[in-house]
């Protein structure tokens, strides 16, 4: 890149309390904490590098005069479904991401969700605070059924950095690992399980695949109906992998034992979002606020990698390029 970099951060609030000094001390930067869709065009105007986590760059934005000077979109995340990569390529805009930065954090969080579903520690703790144990006629409370995970089958859909991390931790718990075939792919290799078999056999299914046309609504009425009535579902990937209405209906009728999701289809959700309403009503649904990735160590790695991606681009190098 022969011209001086002019960098705009569109949603710096997603980094929490992390300092951006490694960028602002090195390059001219404009930092916006939050950017609404209606503000994107005005804020990228005159900048040649945009850093985004969840602010979308669709065809309309990329084809607009606002993107005339834009040369690089540095996605501060692994998933790049917020970028129309075909439109970016046609405009000559490069796109890079940060793979693997949160594998440990998301893997740990996924197992934490699994342990909560299986052991109901939070629910039991809440009962103590509400006085239930204190009024029990015996020494214990058996309000919530608990499940021993040793020997259970964990079905993993999406076997990248995060999926492999989850498998390693779950293996230490004595679980049997079933790695699902790639959704929409050809015949699976011998070390992968066809998805129809995985849905039938798994005691727990955890999602770690990207959102693509092949994976949208992968969890739907049909796949949920094929799961064991004792099975758990965990989603820390993308909300649109799940047909939320079908999941709510399944949980309401207790056709599976429970679900824990860290992602839903609208984030942040309105107060009347169906998943939020259901989480208030159903004891077998747990919703957390898209926070699996957010360990401080992961955020430090994320920003360091974004910086290196920008530096490499400015030096004419290809680093973590996805378009």
150 has catalytic annotation: no
Name the active-site residue from 68, 148, 267, 281: 267
All residues at 6 or more sequence positions from 161 whose CB lies less than 8 Å from its CB, including other chains: 99, 100, 103
Q: Give yes or no for a cis peptide into 268 (omega within 30° of 0).
A: yes
All residues at 6 or more sequence positions from 115 whose CB lies less than 8 Å from its CB, including other chains: 121, 149
Q: In whole angstroms, give the CA distance from residue 311 to residue 11.
A: 20
All residues at 6 or more sequence positions from 80 whose CB lies less than 8 Å from its CB, including other chains: 95, 97, 322, 323
Q: In whole angstroms, give the CA distance from residue 40 to residue 319.
A: 25
Name the active-site residue from 47, 120, 238, 299: 238
To 10 degrees, what angle do helices 121-129 and 103-119 make?
60
290 has catalytic annotation: yes
Name the active-site residue from 43, 120, 208, 290: 290
3-state secondary structure string across 173-185: CCCEEEEECCCCC
Task: Name the DSSP letter for residue 268.
Answer: S
The two three-digit tokens of residue 271, written as one number:
């107060």
267 has catalytic annotation: yes
* Catalytic residue annotation: 238, 267, 290
């Amino acid at each position: 890149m022969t011209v001086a970099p002019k960098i705009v951060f569109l949603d710096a609030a997603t980094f929490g309390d992390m300092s951006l000094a490694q960028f602002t001390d090195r390059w001219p930067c404009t930092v916006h904490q939050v950017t609404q869709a209606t503000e994107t065009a005005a804020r990228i105007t005159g900048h040649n590098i945009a850093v985004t986590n969840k602010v979308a760059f669709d065809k309309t934005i990329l084809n607009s005069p606002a993107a005339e000077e834009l040369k690089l979109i540095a996605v501060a995340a692994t998933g790049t479904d917020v970028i129309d990569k075909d439109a970016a390529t046609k405009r000559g805009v490069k796109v890079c991401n940060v793979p693997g930065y949160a594998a440990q954090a998301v893997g740990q969080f996924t197992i934490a969700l699994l342990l909560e579903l299986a052991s109901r520690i939070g629910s039991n703790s809440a009962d103590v605070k509400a006085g239930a144990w204190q009024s029990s006629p015996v020494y214990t409370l058996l309000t919530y059924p608990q499940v021993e995970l040793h020997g259970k089958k964990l079905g993993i859909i999406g076997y990248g950095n995060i999926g492999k991390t989850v498998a390693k931790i779950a293996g230490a718990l004595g679980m049997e690992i079933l790695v699902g075939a790639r959704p929409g792919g050809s015949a699976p290799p011998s070390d992968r399980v066809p998805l129809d078999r995985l849905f039938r056999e798994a005691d727990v299914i955890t999602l770690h695949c990207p959102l693509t046309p092949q994976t949208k609504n992968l969890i739907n009425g049909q796949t949920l109906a094929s799961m064991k009535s004792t099975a758990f579902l965990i989603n820390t990937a993308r909300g649109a992998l799940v047909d939320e209405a079908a999941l709510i209906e399944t949980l309401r009728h207790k056709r599976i034992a429970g679900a824990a999701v860290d992602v839903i289809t609208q984030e942040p959700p309105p107060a009347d979002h169906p998943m939020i309403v259901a989480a208030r009503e159903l004891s077998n649904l747990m919703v957390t606020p898209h926070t699996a990735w957010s360990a401080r160590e992961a955020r430090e790695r994320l920003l360091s990698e974004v910086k290196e991606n920008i530096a490499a681009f400015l030096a004419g190098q290809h680093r973590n390029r996805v378009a």
